[in-house]
Chains A and B, each alone.
Chain A
Amino acid sequence: MAKYLKNDDLGQWLSELGADYKVYAPVQEGDSIAFRPFSKGKALRIDRHATVGPKEILFPACEELLRFSYQKDEENPGRENIQVQVEENATPTLIFGSRPCDARGFDVFDGAFTQCSVKDSYYIARREQAAVVSIACTRTENTCFCNWVGGAPDGTNGSDVLLTPIQEGFVAESITEKGEALLAGSNLLAEATPEQEKEAKALRAAAHESLPEAPDFECMPEQLYGLFDNMDFWEKQSAKCISCGACTYLCPTCHCFNITDERQGNEGERLRTWDNCMSRQFTQEASGHNPRSEKAYRLKNRVGHKFCYFPELHKGHIACVGCGRCIKSCPVSLDIRQVVTSAKECRLPAEDNDNE
């Protein structure tokens, strides 16, 4: 059953949730919008997409995996003993104000970090304790293309609660049991009236309508394998790229990381930090060889991973949620939609037929 929350009660509701959760919400910072710990009095910015999404909350840009220290063995001074202390500090966290595309990014994280043979205990601990309250989009930006990649302006994947902004308030629907508990726990939420539900439905339908028609990407893995050695194609597509990490770091699905031991004297910590495949160092091997030494190889990998390799490993799930941040914040306005549609439309050379 849908509930209704008045705009005026939103701050109060978040404060109530703050009793059980550390609440993160999008706020203005300089000319940007980012997810930060929410406190009463902080002005929310939920009227548009945040510059950087909430991915950092479940997958920090930098996290300490463990601390270590070396001590001389007193019995045998030639030896050093290492003490390792694992850092685990996940706490109940509520992400408020993510968009359906942002939340769907967590689906991709779940695939990569929880469903493969190696489980990421750090991510799992945070994910299990997280609740996600998303806001459906009732207006779509020029860079939005969630419908191309299996999402929708009111998609529910990855969210526990979905809010639809209507006149003077929100229609709130629970997606999961966790979400149901969130909505049941406050007197601020009333039953939504049929009119309110109708209004929400109409707004959501209009948002669907406003998106450009979705191309069929079923053929993409085959197309991308077919283009794998066509470096002329990739060189032209990547010509204007400046190889920075804006696209990957703002991407709700990009989850590659680097691990660095930083040691001062006998003590140090092992850090996990975001890494990005557009950087040359990403594939720099210790031998000196680099399989992706040029940006054309790196863009090919970025597009290939999202539209071919990841879907093959994860039941066809494209590792792109169509949020459009990589387009909007790209210093050279490189448009991944254009790259993928060009790859789709590229005529592959017909395979040689030996029987002819």
Chain B
Amino acid sequence: MLDKLKESIKAALPELDFVMGWGMGYDPLHATPLYMYEPEDVDNLVWGPLNVHNLAVHLPSLKGKKVGIVVKGCDSRSVVELLQEGLINREDVVIFGAPCNGIVDMSKIRKAVPDAHFVHSVETDDNGLTITTDKDTHKLSLAEVMADKCTRCRFPNAVVADHFVGEKREPTVENDAYEDLESFESQGFEERRDFWMTEMDRCIRCYACRNACPLCVCRDHCVAQSRNPHWVSQRDGVRDKFMFQIIHAMHMAGRCTECGECERACPMDIPVLLLKRKLGTVIHDLFDYDSGLDAEARPPLLAFKLEEESIKEKDW
């Protein structure tokens, strides 16, 4: 399958400035975004559970260039959302898709293999990984170290692609039951507040969550750093840090595809996706809408209807 993917990229490359995919990074456990400019760069392409990054984050800043992008199912939803919002032009992007088996959560790997920073070699197959460190070898099934989003994946195949290689996979689940959220919300107000105050306390305000988000498109003009007006205090109290997360989540409502990049990018392992999950389920219930599936659809909060079907204002 990887060979076919490489072939189709090589065939399209002459018409493109470059194609974004994944290559191996600084050690055998980490892939890294790979920019393929020349056919020989394509030989470094990898496909598998280490391809954790959502490369769609780069697309809006590449406007004006003609580029290719390799996507997992979840990444393709970000591309759709960007198309929907007119942030990228369809004719400037060539999308390469392949069926995704799920990707790893590095935090889970670090828990299963505390010596993950000393890894010497990694072998991956369809069902898992074998990680060898300077001291020992660990056999992990993909299921135990898989990113949470993959356990509830409904779209393992790209929802939009110009070139799709390999056989389409059946989705893991039919519906996302939001069980994680339900269990979190079964706690009382004080427990939930204490949870966030504890988690957000270690935030270093690097804004990796924001910059890894393919739909956080204010980029260099974010309210968190604007001086005039000065919306968000530069103080680093936990409330100030949390304030930004709330702003981020609210701006994502109805647009967020829950790709989880905010949480994955966080160097301090703060579970910020949960906030977006909450808004995702609210949007789903209120507007019967799932983001990033139809490039022609309009996100509910970017539109106005005199009367919303599920909001019975007049009965209030």
Contacts and interface: CB of A to CB of B under 8 A. Distances in A.
Contacts of B205: 61, 245, 249, 274
B107 interface: yes
B265 A244 contact: yes
B270 A30 contact: yes
Interface in A8-53: 29-32, 34, 48-49, 51-52
Interface stretch (A84-92, A177-185, A324-332): A324-332
Contacts of B32: 240, 332-335
B33 interface: yes
A249 B118 contact: no
B233 to A, nearest CB: 6
Nearest to A52: B204
Contacts of A240: 32-33, 35, 58
Interface stretch (B2-10, B23-31, B170-178): B23-31
A273 B234 contact: yes
B199 A335 contact: no
B315 interface: no
B119 A260 contact: no
Interface in B252-302: 261, 264-265, 267-270
A243 interface: yes
Contacts of A335: 25-26, 32
B225 A142 contact: no
A304 to B, nearest CB: 21
Contact of A30 (B114, B206, B234, B268): B268
Contact of B210 (A244, A333, A338): A244
A239 interface: yes
Contacts of B113: none
A242 B212 contact: yes
Interface string B188-221: 0000000000110110111110111000000110
A218 interface: no
B208 A244 contact: yes
A250 interface: yes
Interface string B205-247: 1111011100000011000010100100111100000000000
A273 B114 CA distance: 33
B158 interface: no
A338 B24 CA distance: 13
B57 interface: yes
Which size bracket describes the interface of A in this complex? 35 or more
Contacts of B267: 32, 51-52, 246, 250, 329, 331
A236 B233 contact: no
B77 interface: no
A281 B202 contact: no
A99 to B, nearest CB: 13
B202 A244 contact: no
Given A244-B212, A245-B207, A249-B206, A62 B25 contact: no
A330 B306 CA distance: 45
Interface in A313-356: 327-329, 331-335, 337-338
Given A328-B117, A333-B25, A333-B32, A244 B236 contact: no
Contacts of B117: 48-49, 141-143, 328
B71 to A, nearest CB: 16
B63 interface: no
A2 interface: no
Contacts of B227: 260
Contacts of B204: 52, 61, 245-246, 249-250
B233 A30 contact: no
Interface string B116-150: 01110000000000000010000000000000000
Given A143-B26, A331-B264, A236 B35 contact: yes
Nearest to B62: A239
Nearest to A293: B220
A6 interface: no
Given A51-B268, A338-B26, 7 more contacts: A31-B107, A32-B268, A142-B26, A143-B26, A242-B57, A333-B25, A337-B26
17 contacts: A31-B107, A31-B110, A34-B268, A62-B235, A142-B117, A142-B119, A240-B33, A240-B35, A242-B211, A243-B211, A243-B219, A244-B206, A245-B205, A249-B205, A250-B206, A258-B234, A273-B236
